[in-house]
Structure formats: structure tokens, C-alpha cells
Structure 1
Amino acid sequence: MFKPERRTLLTMGLAAAGAAMLPGWSVAQGGSSSGARGMRLILLGTKGGPRIGGSRSNPANLLLINGVPYVIDCGTGVSRQLVNAHVPLARLRYVFITHHHSDHNLEYGNLIYNAWATGLNQQVDVFGPKGTEAMTRTYWELNRFDIETRMADEGRPDLRKLVLAKDVLDNGVVLQNADVQVTAFRTPHPPIVDNFAYRFESADRSIVFSSDTAYNPRLAEFARGADVLVHEAMYGPGIDALVARVANGATIKKHFLASHTLTEDVGRVAAAAGVKTLVLSHFVPGDDDSITDDMWAQDVRKHYKGRIVVGRDLMEI
């Protein structure tokens, strides 16, 4: 758990940017200033689940910390969304995976490959639950012919030597450098056990990503005092409408209720944590555009009186 003096220690040698949230502003609209100091949060994909289509992309987030890209989760489309955010893929340096559902890791290997295809020649550090190291080795084998062909034919560096993947096995600090400290926290997402929220603490801001999670009051302790909490959100009436349309609706609803957090409970977590800004993302259901921003936020407000942002793809906070 973080202590208040952590931020003071990190301010040594760093510039505090104190960036303000601009509602509705996107990197694609506003252009890139990826070399800026401080910590910038850009939502790359805000839809929960692996389905493709609708107005939202699959789960992915980006932190630019003193201009260095940190990607959190790699749902389908993450490479394209980084391009849309005007962040050169070859600048990729860090990747974090919260858990091994496909909507969070399906484009992991391809993101790194796409960065390599555009000139990546520096190390990328990857952190994810148990299985991340094995998944990385499997990706190399899957693409061994192409990688080795391009190394010989195009003079590219060996991609396999540029990536250092590390399994996150339990709670605690997983990365600490001159710019940021990152801490992992296991949170329930049945039937998956190895599922981690991450807290990023820099000189100017602290940002917590909940991962997919069942309602977890202990997550409030992990997020205590954070500037921003990015929390998944499940809208109950939307789930009822969804399950009514499918044959296996009862099974799906049971999974949703056991594994995700209703918006009212998200409000409880944010209030207990005392966060300054709550960002709703990873929407479940994620492709029902009839659910308005007010509908997503209304039950949150029953408990949390702070700033609520209903996330959109490419929004910066």
C-alpha cells in the first residue's frame, strides 16, 4: 500500500504537470504532445468484452508518463487506437496485462510486432499474470518464420530479444523507475484467480485501474486517495435486456453478477477510496448505445459525490 510521502520522493528531478481533464477532448482531435512532462491518461478502448463493433473499441488504456508510453491491456484494436492517439508504435516501452481474458490480451503479441514493424529497437518490459511469459514464448514460435525472415531480409533486430516479459504472481510493487512506481493488487474476477488491478504513482498524479472485478470493498483501500480511479462499470437494466435476447441468458447473467461490478457498487468503492475523479470504463454491456452517459452515472451518484467521467475512446483525462 502507498504511503503519502511516496509522491514527495518522486518529485525529485521530475516536473509536475498537473494536467486537467478536458471533457470530450481526444488526442486524435487535439494532436499529440507525447513529449510533455507529467502523467497523461488516454482511454484507448472502453467497451467490455471481446465482441467487435459498435462505437467503442475493446479494452485498452494508455499512460504517457514524461512522454513514455505505458499500455494497460491489449484488446483488439489497441495498435490502431495508439495510432489514432498519435503515439508512434515504435515508442512503446511498457505493457501491463490485468488478466488473461481475450478482450484484455488478444492483441498483446501483435501490438509488439506492429511496433517492431514500424522501427522498434529498444526493450519493451511486459507485466501480466501467470502465463504471460509462456504466452510470449508461444507468440515467438507462432511467428518464428516471419521474424527470422525479416531479420535476414530487412536487417531488423531480433524482436525476441527486445521483449522482457515477467509474470506477476502476487500483490506488491512490480515496477519502479525514475518516473513511476507500479503496484499490483489481486482482485476477484471468477473464475479467473490471477487478476490484478494496477496503481501508477508518479510525481504529479496517482491513477488506479480496477481491472475487471466483482464488487470488492478492499479495492477502495488499494485506491485510497488516488487522483483517478478507472473502474469497470456494469449497468443492471442493460444486462437484463441483453440476457433476454440470448438462449443462454441465465448462465451469462450469473457470470456477469459474479464477476463484474454494478454501477451503484462502483460508487461505493470510489466513495470509500476518496478518489478525486472516477472514470467509468469497460462498460458491460459495451455495445448498447441506447445507454446514455446519465444512465451510466445515475446509480454511481447515490454514493460518490466527486467528479464522474463516463469514458469514451480516445478521451484524455
Structure 2
Amino acid sequence: MLLGTKGGPAIRPGGPSPTSSLLEIGGRRCVIDCGLGVTRGLVEAGVTLKELDLIFITHLHSDHILELGPLIHTAWTTGLKTPVTVFGPSGTAAYWTGFLASMRYDIDLRIADEGRPDPRDFVTVVEYGEGPLGLEGLEVSALRVKHPPVTECFALKFRTPDWCVVFSADTTYFPPLAGFASGCDVLVHEAMLADGVDKIVEITGNGERLRTHLMDSHTLAPDAARIASAAGAKQLVLNHLIPADLPGFDEKDWLAATRGHYAGPITIGRDGLTLTRSAQ
């Protein structure tokens, strides 16, 4: 399930939330990225927060990690007391330590006053790099992608004997990703519209500096389709959409931008979208 499909940290009335996804695979429940709104998204998806299991952070931009601490804290206040493992790039442990420090008064008070277990005892942060992540019963591996100026940014591949799902993370057009995702059932890839970049630059007034960042760090929709085609992906899901909530851009624009570059089915991400293996 795509919980948040918007590229970037800003939110607008009635618009989508920043990046987060839920993947149930191999008997495990995986949260991928924790942008603003992930906790509400999980609850509305019917997830019992006290059953939180695995969390994966692709990189430390705020629209991917801002609500990591609040998600775990909220799950803890609803009864979470079983182990949670957070996989994230270098710096994730410092984020978690800082969050705990910021909430120390509340956490210590609830432990003493309400008899809750100490979340510092059952939440483990594992900082990962490129390669296998070493999970038992579920094959997860990471590929460093190109998302300047961030250097610690990773695509993630989740594989069982009968299903493979790949998340591109934030990346510019990066051909090695096709090899990493080769033969996957679902490729969830970030995407951007060139006309949308022009509109965003116009609205924000940040000029060529913002344009340069977007073009150097993100993938235009036709290139996302090219990656899916080269990978032989069975389905392409466009996510982390730029723009995601500007008037004048809709599904037909995304489909037009990818037409002719990928022959398989293309799904345009929206908050709450659910895909199942049986539908592949």
C-alpha cells in the first residue's frame, strides 16, 4: 500500500502526504520510509500499531524520516512492546537518539506512571550500506543510488521465492537500478514531469537553483519507464510524484510521459493505493 505519494516535504489542503509505504511480504510487515502522515496512513489502512515489525528508511531527507520517531512513540502508547527493527543509512541512529532525548520527559513519565515498557529496550536501529541486509526469512538488499547531494540513499529490493518488489528511493536516472531490479514483479519508482518542474519553479520563486536540484536528483517519468523496461519489471508504479498536487496535472499526463518507453502496466501512485500479488 502506498501511504504517501508526494515528492517533497510540503503538504497542502486536500493533497497527498509525503513518502511512505507498507509492504506485507514473507510473513513480515515492512514500513518503507516515514514521511509526515505515515502513522495516520497505517491506522487508516487497518494496521494495529502495536504489531509494528520492520521499518526501512531509504535516506535522511525529511520527507522520508520526519515521522519515524512519532510513529514508534505512537505505536508504543497503543501497546507496542515487541521488538521493532529500524534499518536506515548512516545517521539514523543519531536521529533516534535525538528523538528519545527530545521526548525523555514524556517517555520516563509514562514508564513510571502507566507501567509501560521502556522503548529504548526493544527498538533496534541497524545502519546499513549497499548489499544484503541480513534478515532471516526475507531477502532484502540495498543498492546505493544517485541522489545528490545525499550520498547515503538506497533502493531496496524485497524478495521471496514467489514475489519481488523493488523501491527506487529518490534518485536521478540511474541505469544500474535496472540490473538491481531485474525480473521484479513490481517496481515502485519515483517520477517527475518536466512541465511540472517548470510550474514548481514558477510558484516557489527559487529559480534555477531549485530547477538544477530537481533535475540532478530526481527521475523524469520517461526515464523511470526506461528503467522498468530494461529491468523487465512486470509492473511499474510511479511514486514520489513531482508534482503530485498541482492543478493542471493528472493521470493522463503521467501516462503520456511514459508512453512508448515501457510496454507493461503502469500505475500512477495515490495515497491509499493497494496492490496484491494475486493481481500481478
TM-score normalised per structure 1:
0.84
The aligned residue for residue 118 of structure 2 is: 158
CA contact (8 A) 2:193 2:257 kept: no
Deviations 1:107-145 (A, max 9, x none): 000000011010001010001110011111111111111
Q: How many residues align?
A: 274
Extract structure 1 runs of 4+ deviating beyond 6 A: none
SS, match of residue 216 in structure 1: coil
Distance in 1, Cα, partners of 2:247 & 2:227: 25
Residues 1:65 and 2:11 are matched in the alignment: no
**SS of match in other structure, 1:145:** helix
- Deviation per CA, 1:31-59, whole angstroms, max 9, x where unpaired? xxxxxxxxxxx110000100012421110
Quote the Cα distance in structure 1 between the aligned partners of 2:136 and 2:258: 35
Given the alignment of the two structures, is residue 105 of structure 1 paired with residue 65 of structure 2, yes or no?
A: yes
Deviation at 1:249, TM superposition (A): 1.9
Aligned to 2:77: 117
CA contact under 8 A between 1:220 and 1:273: conserved in structure 2?
yes
| Superposed displacement of residue 67, structure 1 | 5.2
Q: CA deviation at 1:66?
A: 5.0
Cα distance in 1 for residues equivalent to 2:100 and 2:145:
30
* Distance (whole Å) between structure 2 residues aligned to residue 214 and residue 239 of structure 1: 14
SS state of the match for residue 73, structure 1?
strand
Identity %: 48
Q: Distance in 2 between matches of 1:163 and 1:172?
A: 23
1:11 alignment counterpart: none
Cα displacement string for residues 255-284 of structure 1 (whole angstroms, at most 9, x for unaligned residues): 000000001111110110000000001001
Partner of residue 2, structure 2: 43
Aligned ranges 1:47-196 → 2 under 5 Å: 47-53=6-12, 54-65=14-25, 68-168=28-128, 170-178=129-137, 180-196=138-154
Choose the corresponding residue for 1:239, options 192, 197, 216. Answer: 197
Q: Which residue of 2 is the match for residue 221 of structure 1?
A: 179
Structure 1 gaps, min length 5:
1-41
Name the TM-score, length of structure 2 as normaliser: 0.95
Deviation at 1:232, TM superposition (A): 0.3
Q: Deviations over 1:59-95 (max 9, x none)?
A: 0000122553210000000000001101111111100
1:283 matched residue in structure 2:
241
* Structure 2: tracts of 5 or more residues without a match: 276-280
For residues 115 and 245 of structure 1, the distance between their equivalents in structure 2, rounded to whole angstroms, comes to: 37
In the alignment, is the contact (CA less than 8 A) between 2:237 and 2:268 conserved in 1? Answer: yes
Distance 1:214 1:46, change over 3 A: same
One-letter amino acid of the structure 1 residue matched with residue 126 of structure 2: K
CA RMSD of aligned residues (A): 1.1
Deviations 1:8-27 (A, max 9, x none): xxxxxxxxxxxxxxxxxxxx
